[in-house]
Amino acid sequence: MPNALAANDRPAAPPFTARMTSPPPDQPASAASEAVGDAVADRLSALARFTDEPGRLTRLYLGPAHRAAADEVVRWMREAGMSALIDAAANVVGRYEGAAPDAPAFLLGSHIDSVRDAGRFDGPLGVLAAIAAVGDLARRGRRRPFAIEVVAFGDEEGIRFPTTLTGSMALAGRFDPRCLDDVDADGISHRDALIAFGCDPAGIPALARTGGRALAYLEAHIEQGPVLERRHLPLGIVSAINGVSRGAVEVTGGAGHAGTVPMDHRKDALAGAAEMVLAVEKAARSGVVATVGQLVVPEGAVNTVPGRVRFTYDVRSADDTRRRAAVAAVHENVAAIAARRGLAAAISRGHEGDAVPADARLSEVLARAVTRQGIEPLRLPSGAGHDAMAFHRVLPLAMLFVRCRGGISHNPAEFASPADIGFAVRTLIDVLETYEP
Ligand code: HGY
Ligand code: MN
Ligand code: MN
């Protein structure tokens, strides 16, 4: 049973009684913004209690906590006036019909999976803010010429399996079925994990929101960086999402006795990997960031020369040519270090995504909505990846950034204020009210 709360001691879902109408353009957000921000903040805390690791927030794709959180999000979507289900790719999808049935949908969403020891805002803020926005239209009986779908994706962080964005790729019609053969650290395949979750992988192709089924995709997300805080702005509009290359390197040398193997006879996989890690860092020149986030010595022991090491790399840039050149430099240096040290180094490429520009017209609708909140519409790039990337060249996409304290993210200290969350909800409402297909 997931470390979810039992049904009877689950915190009561905060009532969404706060009526929210967009404030007159010349006034700052009214008390309604605080109220709706508080309500979303309460639900973010409630959702954060669904974790696979007691005492900290870790909610991995298709794990028990993901299942419990998905069921809660279904409940909240229905309370907000939507029909809701969990689809074949384990996305939670809520739908609020337009003025006519079966109308194409305006998509809103973000993810509810997390990294290990995560903050409670990265992902869920975008889902819960969207649910609050739709709830406002529903309470007013407001119908637009399009449907609205809110999606809680389950595989944005890509922590459990080598690929990522599989849920959003499914909706974008870009799902690669080969990823179903990927296995996690316990040898469980993606396919088996989906089936155990209650999903039928055969149903994934039919999820594609292509062929006119969808109009646009808009994602609200914490900035995960310091810019908005430095500019004293609650919100920002994303200009583009940086491209990313992930991979893993398996370094193999020769295990040996730490006390007896002479230094000039060693094939020390960890010492070699350490040089390679510094080569990854060195590949990060202007406009490129490069990170080794994981390094494992599987059979490590204090008195054994390491024979095998595995580490990951993550290289990003707004400039795809620079990113690819940096990755090539990493691969070349890894090979050269391995050769010099008599090691073997096997490189496996993981998730790759080109830089994704936001759609100009949709971003302009968003910028006008931000302006009507009395906020300067600052445009800024996203260093972090998001589900929005899946819709590149499929749907017009845009992102709304919400200020987060110190730019901290992927860390339990992550924080966005209820007032800023309230501004985000009212901005989403404004977009849903003013967007014309
Ligand atoms: O890795 C990323 O940029 C995102 O947080 N998954
Ligand atoms: Mn995220
Ligand atoms: Mn993240």
Tens-digit pLDDT profile for residues 230-261: 999 999 999 999 999 999 999 999 999 999 99
Ligand 1 atom nearest to CA at 224: 5
* Rounded CA separation 357/172 (Å): 16
Residue-level pLDDT at 34: 74
Q: How crowded is residue 126: how many other Cβ atoms within 10 Å of its Cβ? A: 32
Instruction: State pLDDT tens for residues 155-203.
Output: 999 999 998 999 999 999 999 999 999 999 999 999 999 999 999 999 9
SS3 content of the chain, % helix, strand, coil (to 5): 35, 20, 40
Q: Does the CB atom of residue 87 touch ligand 1 within 6 A?
A: no
Under a CB-based contact definition with an 8 Å cutoff, are residues 220 and 125 in contact?
A: yes
Residue-level pLDDT at 285: 85
Q: Which long-range contacts (CB under 8 A, 24 or more apart) does 261-265 make?
A: 261/305
Query: In 3D, which of 279, 269, 278, 277 has the Cα closest to residue 300?
Result: 269
Tokens of 250: 């398996």
Superfamily assignment of 7-241+356-434 in CATH? Zn peptidases (3.40.630.10)
Instruction: State pLDDT tens for residues 196-232.
Output: 999 999 999 999 999 999 999 999 999 999 999 999 9
Residue-level pLDDT at 33: 67
Neighbour-count burial of 224, counting CB atoms closer than 10 A to its CB (0-12 exposed, 13-18 middle, 19+ buried) = buried
Asked if the model's pLDDT at residue 5 lies above 70, the reply is: no
Residues, CB within 5 angstroms of ligand 2 (ion): 122-123
Instruction: State pLDDT tens for residues 312-337.
Output: 999 999 999 999 999 999 999 999 99
Tokens of 172: 């974008």
**Paired sense of beta strands 295-296 and 243-252, if any:** unpaired
The four Cα atoms 182, 185, 189, 194 give a dihedral, to 10 degrees, of: -110
Topology of the domain covering 243-353: Alpha-Beta Plaits (3.30.70)
Residue-level pLDDT at 30: 57
Does an H or E element contain 433, and which? helix 418-434
Ligand 1 atom nearest to CA at 111: 6
* Rounded CA separation 275/339 (Å): 12
Which residues, 6+ apart, have CB-to-CB distance to 186 below 8 Å?
none
Domain boundaries, the chain: 7-241+356-434, 243-353
* Rounded CA separation 397/389 (Å): 8
Average pLDDT of the residues in 324-351: 97
Q: Does the CB atom of residue 113 touch ligand 1 within 6 A?
A: no
Ligand 1 atom nearest to CA at 314: 1
| Cα–ligand 3 centroid distance for 343 (angstroms) | 34
Instruction: State pLDDT tens for residues 129-158.
Output: 999 999 999 999 999 999 999 999 999 999
Q: Does the CB atom of residue 157 touch ligand 1 within 6 A?
A: yes
Residue owning tokens 């290990």: 116
* Rounded CA separation 343/309 (Å): 11
Cα 23 to Cα 20, 36, 255, 375: the distances in Å are 9, 14, 68, 12
| Cα–ligand 2 centroid distance for 410 (angstroms) | 9
Tokens of 227: 């810019």
Q: Which ligand has the shortest distance to the CA of 127?
A: 2
Under a CB-based contact definition with an 8 Å cutoff, are residues 310 and 296 in contact?
A: yes
Q: Does the CB atom of residue 156 touch ligand 1 within 6 A?
A: yes
Query: In 3D, which of 432, 419, 437 has the Cα closest to residue 36?
Result: 419
* Rounded CA separation 235/215 (Å): 24
Instruction: State pLDDT tens for residues 410-432.
Output: 999 999 999 999 999 999 999 99
| Cα–ligand 3 centroid distance for 6 (angstroms) | 27
**Residue with CA at minimum distance from ligand 1 atom 4:** 385
* Predicted TM-score of the model (pTM): 0.86
Q: How crowded is residue 257: how many other Cβ atoms within 10 Å of its Cβ? A: 9
Asked if the model's pLDDT at residue 25 lies above 70, the reply is: no
The DSSP line for 346-369 is: EEEEEEEE--EEPPHHHHHHHHHH
Q: Report which DSSP code applies to 180.
A: G
Residue-level pLDDT at 286: 84
* Rounded CA separation 29/122 (Å): 24
Residue owning tokens 């509810």: 112
Q: What is the 3-state secondary structure (H, E, C) of 208-220?
A: CCCCCCEEEEEEE
2 band by pLDDT with thresholds 50, 70 and 90: very low
Q: Does the CB atom of residue 384 touch ligand 1 within 6 A?
A: yes
Q: Which ligand has the shortest distance to the CA of 164?
A: 1
Ligand 1 atom nearest to CA at 410: 5
- Of 294, 386, 401, 410, the residue with max ligand 1 atoms within 8 A of its CB, to mutate for a pocket test, comes to 386
Query: In 3D, which of 346, 337, 382 has the Cα closest to residue 239?
Result: 382
Residue-level pLDDT at 32: 63
Ligand 1 atom nearest to CA at 316: 3
Radius of gyration over alpha carbons of the chain, in Å? 23
* Rounded CA separation 186/188 (Å): 6
Query: In 3D, which of 335, 265, 278, 344 has the Cα closest to residue 305?
Result: 265
Q: Does the CB atom of residue 243 touch ligand 1 within 6 A?
A: no
Q: Which ligand has the shortest distance to the CA of 114?
A: 3
Encode burial over 427-436: b for 16+ CB neighbours within 10 A, e otherwise: bbbbbbbebe
Asked if the model's pLDDT at residue 17 lies above 90, the reply is: no
Residue-level pLDDT at 15: 39
Under a CB-based contact definition with an 8 Å cutoff, are residues 371 and 377 in contact?
A: yes
Average pLDDT of the residues in 89-106: 97
Q: Does the CB atom of residue 422 touch ligand 1 within 6 A?
A: no
Mean pLDDT of the chain: 92
Residue type, 28: P
Ligand 1 atom nearest to CA at 164: 6
Residue-level pLDDT at 6: 33
- Of 156, 165, 409, the residue with max ligand 1 atoms within 8 A of its CB, to mutate for a pocket test, comes to 156
Share of residues in the chain with pLDDT > 70 (%): 92
* Rounded CA separation 264/397 (Å): 56
Q: Does the CB atom of residue 223 touch ligand 1 within 6 A?
A: no
* Rounded CA separation 21/42 (Å): 21
